[in-house]
Structure 1
Amino acid sequence: MCGTAGWVSFDPEAPVTAPVADAMTTTMACRGPDAHGLWLGRHVALGHRRLSVIDPAGGSQPMVYEENGTPAVAISYTGEVFNYRELRHQLQVRGHGFRTESDTEVVLHAYLEWGEDFTEHLNGMYAFALWDARTEELLLVRDRLGIKPLYYHPLPGGGVLFGSEPKAILAHPSVRPAIDTEGFAELLGFTKTPGHAIYKGMYELRPGHTLRVGRGGHTLRRYWAVESHEHTDDLDTTIGRVRELLEDIVARQLVADVPVGTLLSGGLDSSIITALAARHRNTLGAPPIRSFALDFDGHGDGFRADDWRGTPDAPFAELLARHVGSDHRTVTLSPGQLLAPEAREPIMRARDLPFDLGDGDTSLYLLFQEVRRHCTVALSGEAADEVFGGYRWFNHPDTITADTFPWLAPPFGTGISGPGSGPGESLIDPALLAKIDLPGYRTRRYHEALAEVPRLAGESATDRRMREIGYLHLTRFLPWMLDRKDRASMAVGLEVRVPFCDHRLVSYVFNTPWAMKSFDGREKSLLRAATRDLLPAEIADRVKAPYPTSRDRRYLDGLRAALKRATEGPDAPVRELLDESALAAATADDPQPGYRTGTELVLALDFWLRGQNVGLDVDLEL
């Protein structure tokens, strides 16, 4: 998968230097444990950390193409292009020669052949920097759905810093880590605004966009977005097309020169991916696919159902594994493992920003550690809910009609009724929340997103609204989920692929009418119909359940103790952000359950403020 970082400067008073570029790249060593590369040209430094997946021997980076013995184009590339073999053949027919078997070299030659339009030919998950020495311009490119991250920070004089993670940019001596009021609102808003990086002066390259950087300035260009088209296929044809796409996508994404596995929760989405992978491997006569599940102490005989989760995951994962014959492992975590600093601190460091997921992040990190011992690549069921309409709020009249992001609306979300109403906000000082104005910020971002939704003439009001909700999930919710998965996996050097994010599938299903997506009255009806024959009935009909978290009282007691330690003394950096009365209630001997996410957020904020020395450009004189 790898990590990229670099620096372009046209300022003779601030030229690029190898030590600084090297330091920027080294911050992401976990993303690329197999190799480290650095290339310097006139005005540019390209750094690279490599996780070897395709052509381990020949795919070293940065990769340079020379003309007449002089560097012409150089690339620092992360991710995978899944159609690289077809592209390689097309380019060979057009006269291109290749020295390696890597997809990196194919991307480089695609640029040489088609210029900036080469993005139209790529199918995959990628983010990369390409320096054209012939024009002295940098091109930053990000995949269509934003599966792989890429950040940039403009410099005076037309230059730019860039990296796969903010920490690479923050390592440059000219950058001061700071957030302002809007950054704080974005951090707490529980939505992901395209292009917003939270840190002042830093941006995230939007999915489906390129950024060209030269002496004349910066040019941002969109090369892909979901579009609205009339859907003319009948139900049976649509079901068949979804199945056809899924089989092709999974087959493409199983290609690697290293061991590949699947992440299997026992839910519909991960079971489909595992079943298709197992079936494809079987047709090739390959060994059984490896699959990995997560469980917690006490989720067996002691499991207690609630409104969100009616059953534990592990029995369903084991059922699917037996059904398809996968080589299956269940990773069971204890409260002690989830609370241990050696697990919590690396994932908080990998995230670069404080979030309130707590053991939702830590458990993912520990699961990925175990997966990495056996595989370098894993396929995940991420994005099926966003693409096919799997979340409960897709089917509830109150959330469908709410004037906000559906996941924030009652009865499932937290709404925008006022300060303190959102995820993780329970311990934040209400006066600070009022100054940030989260309700106003969310409302503004919501209406900005609605204005982007592509229209379809003649569409019914219901289909129009469901198209809007689908668009909101693809562009404001899914990127948040993808970023979490990327950071947790790359923190241990594991490449996670997400077949449901293939842009062909996304485009096709986005334009399928809602009545067809939910034709039998259930969530993800279309997906179930397309794959039912692959699965046991218990899984094909299983109700959607969210990602699991620990319910062990020992974990909650450990959180409370950690909160007490983090906020001891008036000089604790996070304390000035908190509501003292809420803090006292959260650290009491018998705190209310509602303080859990607030506690997780405060612990993450404390780690972030201490570790990053972040400047809060927010007036805290409340």
Structure 2
Amino acid sequence: MCGICGWVDFRGNLEERRTELEAMCDTMACRGPDAAGTSFHGTAALGHRRLAIIDLPGGNQPMTRHTPDGDVCLVYSGETYNFTALRQELRARGHRFDTDSDTEVVLCGYLEWGAALAERLNGMYAFAVWDARKDELLLVRDRMGIKPLYYYPTEHGVLFGSEPKAVLANPVAERVVDADGLREIFAMTKKPGHAVWSGMAEVEPGTMLTVNRAGIHRHTYWRLEVAEHTADAHRTSAHVRELLDDIVARQLISDVPRCVLLSGGLDSSAITALAARQLEPSGQQVRSFAVDFLGQTENFVADSLRETPDGPYVHDVAEHVNSLHQDIVLNPQTLADPAVRRAAVGARDMPVGLGDLDNSLYLLFRSIRQHSTVALSGESADEIFGGYKWFFDQRAREADTFPWMATLDTQHAAGSTLLDPALARDLDLPGYVEAEYRKAVDELPRLEGESAFERRMREISYLHLTRFVRVLLDRKDRMSMAVGLEVRVPFCDHRLVEYVFNAPWALKTHDGREKSLLRRATSDILPRSVVERVKSPYPSTQDPEYTAELQRQARELLSAQDPAVELLNEKLLRDATDSPAEAVEPTTRDALERLLDVSVWLQQHSPTIRV
């Protein structure tokens, strides 16, 4: 998995700047606890932190090949699942290999095909190649944006890193957040390429950048394309199953212990069952983990998002596939622990305000890491197959905005109610969201002969796959890598995404329910309870003790006039702290979470805020 960073300065000698590069690497020690390395090439310097997954003794980085015309050096994060087939092809073309790692395959692939190598990779990856033959840096990110990669143009080159904190560790980068940065923090959307920090950008999914003395050049090597789908429901679901069988088989490859994340929903249950079938012939037992909250099943109260607790369904699946299962049960005190919040906010580099959703995920991953180094997740199936309730909500379908915002009050959905009223007016979050929505809808090509309804459902799918899912993938990556756990996402295999994206909505819902294609493709290996279960999002604690602890911590910040209070709606926060914990609404609890997150973020990063 790992973390990468680097620096190119075409007018400097970076051999003299080792301290700065090492500081950049040190920020990502959690991403790569197994090894660290740096490589200096005059005007370029590359750094790496390694989490060893494939070829434990042989995959250390940076990895360099010496050629008669100059060195080619690679730093790589992620996994290339088709590396074995690519290695065979490269051997046939005359390449020799000193290791069994996928990293060396990527390096040799670049030597053979140049930047076109990216089109041959199946996996999740972000990598950088310094090619001294061309005096040029290449930055590449995977198609769906599973692995992060940021860059910061400088006067004579560029800084880059797997996380903003790696870039910000270099004194050349300024810690400034401007109005657009605040808009990204508080609006419920994600602007492609935006990195919150002024001057910094994100390499977009399916994109590569080349950096040379002439500047920075961007090339998109993959994007979602529209195409006619002619297969019927039976052939479509059969092909989905074929793809999933192949994807899970590829993603189980590992030289370290692996497991699956199990929530009892259709998505994670399908991955768990498919993994169990793949491992069974070799006599191996799939290991599964689930997060739960103390007393959640016994005291569960259904709401508009979650009709059922996860626990009973998790155990149905574990018994059905005979997994070696463990529940990670969290209590409200641990969830609300300020140290856990600091770890979660620090992992994400921004105050997202998801509170217990982030804290519990961090704690789940931290517990899993004691047993496994690789985990398979059901993440992204809802975006691909149409699993969210708003896919079926007429108001959301017809709304002239992002569908996940359509069922909420516009001001609240855009984050305006959380902000200090004067700041809210200056930022105009509803206007920002509307502009980003227009850009997103205008990107999508039209399919000739498509009905207005099918076009709209395609638009909604596209919005989820290019905006919504990227937020979730970033959350998954940051929380898992904060504890040195590699989480793989089989549903993000680009072959599956392309195929299902172009299936008509009528096929995606052929039985009148959400995720019909996935249900039909995997129902034969799942318990009936899960096949019939209605979609339930990632769990959130309902324990009033957790809310009471949030209120206590918020009162302390309000009393001390913490700098975070200046950015937020103080009256809303004071009202939230005065209400009985049992009566606090979810949106009000969100405000408390945001206050605590913003306070931690300001302490950790000390940003200069310019509106």
Q: TM-score range by the shorter chain?
A: over 0.9
Relative to 1, partners in 2 of residues 1:473 and 1:310: Cα closer, same or farther, differing over 3 Å? same
SS at match of 1:587: helix
Correspondence for 1:311 among 286, 295, 308: 308
Question: After alignment, is 6-15 or 74-83 more displaced?
Answer: 6-15
Q: Does 1:199 align with 2:193?
A: no
- Superposition deviation, residue 415 in structure 1: 4.3
- Superposition deviation, residue 588 in structure 1: 0.9
Residue in structure 2 matched with residue 171 of structure 1 by the alignment: 169
Give, in whole Å, the separation in 2 of the partners of 1:33 and 1:12. Answer: 30
Q: Does 1:598 align with 2:598?
A: no
Mapping of 1:537-576 within 5 angstroms? 537-570=528-561, 572-576=562-566
Give, in whole Å, the separation in 2 of the partners of 1:65 and 1:111. Answer: 11
Across the aligned residues of Structure 1 and Structure 2, the Cα RMSD in angstroms comes to 1.3
SS at match of 1:175: coil
The answer to whether the 8 A contact 2:377-2:487 is kept is: yes
Residue in structure 2 matched with residue 115 of structure 1 by the alignment: 114
Output the amino acid matched with 1:36: A
- Superposition deviation, residue 314 in structure 1: 1.2
Give, in whole Å, the separation in 2 of the partners of 1:16 and 1:399. Answer: 56
Output the amino acid matched with 2:385: F
Residue in structure 2 matched with residue 126 of structure 1 by the alignment: 125
Give, in whole Å, the separation in 1 of the partners of 2:553 and 2:415. Answer: 16
Residue in structure 2 matched with residue 388 of structure 1 by the alignment: 385
Q: Does 1:17 align with 2:27?
A: no
Question: After alignment, is 584-593 or 472-481 more displaced?
Answer: 584-593
Mapping of 1:362-377 within 5 angstroms? 362-377=359-374
Residues 49-71 of structure 1: CA deviation (Å, up to 9, x unaligned): 00000001000000001125x85
SS at match of 1:227: coil
Residue in structure 2 matched with residue 162 of structure 1 by the alignment: 160
- Superposition deviation, residue 423 in structure 1: 6.5
Give, in whole Å, the separation in 1 of the partners of 2:144 and 2:334. Answer: 33
Give, in whole Å, the separation in 2 of the partners of 1:497 and 1:590. Answer: 41
Output the amino acid matched with 1:461: A
Residues 119-175 of structure 1: CA deviation (Å, up to 9, x unaligned): 110000000111001111000000000000000000002x00000000001101122
Correspondence for 1:490 among 457, 478, 481: 481
Residues 386-430 of structure 1: CA deviation (Å, up to 9, x unaligned): 0000001111111001000000101xxx243x3xx1276544212
Output the amino acid matched with 1:573: P
Residue in structure 1 matched with residue 102 of structure 2 by the alignment: 103
Output the amino acid matched with 2:58: G
* Runs of 5+ unmatched residues, structure 1: none
Mapping of 1:32-71 within 5 angstroms? 32-68=32-68
Aligned pairs, how many? 608
Correspondence for 2:291 among 290, 294, 318: 294
Residue in structure 2 matched with residue 257 of structure 1 by the alignment: 255
SS at match of 1:455: coil
- Superposition deviation, residue 580 in structure 1: 2.8
SS at match of 2:208: strand
- Superposition deviation, residue 611 in structure 1: 1.6
- Superposition deviation, residue 103 in structure 1: 0.3
Residue in structure 2 matched with residue 214 of structure 1 by the alignment: 212
Give, in whole Å, the separation in 2 of the partners of 1:568 and 1:178. Answer: 27
Residue in structure 1 matched with residue 394 of structure 2 by the alignment: 397
Output the amino acid matched with 1:366: L
SS at match of 2:244: helix
TM-score by length of 1: 0.96
Identical columns (%) = 53
SS at match of 1:500: helix
TM-score by length of 2: 0.98
SS at match of 2:299: coil
Residues 155-199 of structure 1: CA deviation (Å, up to 9, x unaligned): 002x00000000001101122211111111111111111100011
SS at match of 1:345: helix
Give, in whole Å, the separation in 2 of the partners of 1:12 and 1:45. Answer: 11
Give, in whole Å, the separation in 1 of the partners of 2:486 and 2:343. Answer: 17
Mapping of 1:433-512 within 5 angstroms? 433-512=424-503
Mapping of 1:233-272 within 5 angstroms? 233-272=231-270
SS at match of 2:470: helix
The answer to whether the 8 A contact 1:356-1:424 is kept is: no
Residue in structure 2 matched with residue 583 of structure 1 by the alignment: 573
Give, in whole Å, the separation in 2 of the partners of 1:614 and 1:161. Answer: 19
The answer to whether the 8 A contact 1:378-1:496 is kept is: yes
Question: After alignment, is 451-460 or 471-480 more displaced?
Answer: 451-460
The answer to whether the 8 A contact 1:424-1:597 is kept is: no
Relative to 1, partners in 2 of residues 1:295 and 1:217: Cα closer, same or farther, differing over 3 Å? same
SS at match of 1:185: helix
The answer to whether the 8 A contact 1:142-1:206 is kept is: yes
Output the amino acid matched with 1:577: L
- Superposition deviation, residue 16 in structure 1: 6.2
- Superposition deviation, residue 434 in structure 1: 1.4
The answer to whether the 8 A contact 1:426-1:595 is kept is: no
Relative to 1, partners in 2 of residues 1:116 and 1:16: Cα closer, same or farther, differing over 3 Å? farther
The answer to whether the 8 A contact 1:16-1:44 is kept is: no
Relative to 1, partners in 2 of residues 1:71 and 1:317: Cα closer, same or farther, differing over 3 Å? farther
Give, in whole Å, the separation in 2 of the partners of 1:541 and 1:455. Answer: 35
The answer to whether the 8 A contact 2:354-2:590 is kept is: yes
Output the amino acid matched with 1:172: N
Give, in whole Å, the separation in 2 of the partners of 1:470 and 1:267. Answer: 20
Residue in structure 1 matched with residue 279 of structure 2 by the alignment: 281
Output the amino acid matched with 2:210: R
Give, in whole Å, the separation in 1 of the partners of 2:13 and 2:369. Answer: 44
The answer to whether the 8 A contact 1:427-1:599 is kept is: no
- Superposition deviation, residue 520 in structure 1: 1.0
The answer to whether the 8 A contact 2:2-2:51 is kept is: yes
Give, in whole Å, the separation in 2 of the partners of 1:229 and 1:7. Answer: 41
Relative to 1, partners in 2 of residues 1:520 and 1:16: Cα closer, same or farther, differing over 3 Å? farther
The answer to whether the 8 A contact 2:14-2:40 is kept is: no
Residue in structure 2 matched with residue 149 of structure 1 by the alignment: 148
Correspondence for 2:323 among 300, 318, 326: 326
The answer to whether the 8 A contact 2:80-2:122 is kept is: yes
SS at match of 1:22: helix
- Superposition deviation, residue 566 in structure 1: 2.0
Residue in structure 1 matched with residue 335 of structure 2 by the alignment: 338
Correspondence for 1:521 among 489, 512, 518: 512
The answer to whether the 8 A contact 2:188-2:415 is kept is: no
Residues 241-267 of structure 1: CA deviation (Å, up to 9, x unaligned): 000000000000000100110000000
The answer to whether the 8 A contact 2:77-2:125 is kept is: yes
Segments ≥4 residues shifted beyond 3 Å: 12-16, 423-427
Output the amino acid matched with 1:458: G
Q: Does 1:185 align with 2:189?
A: no
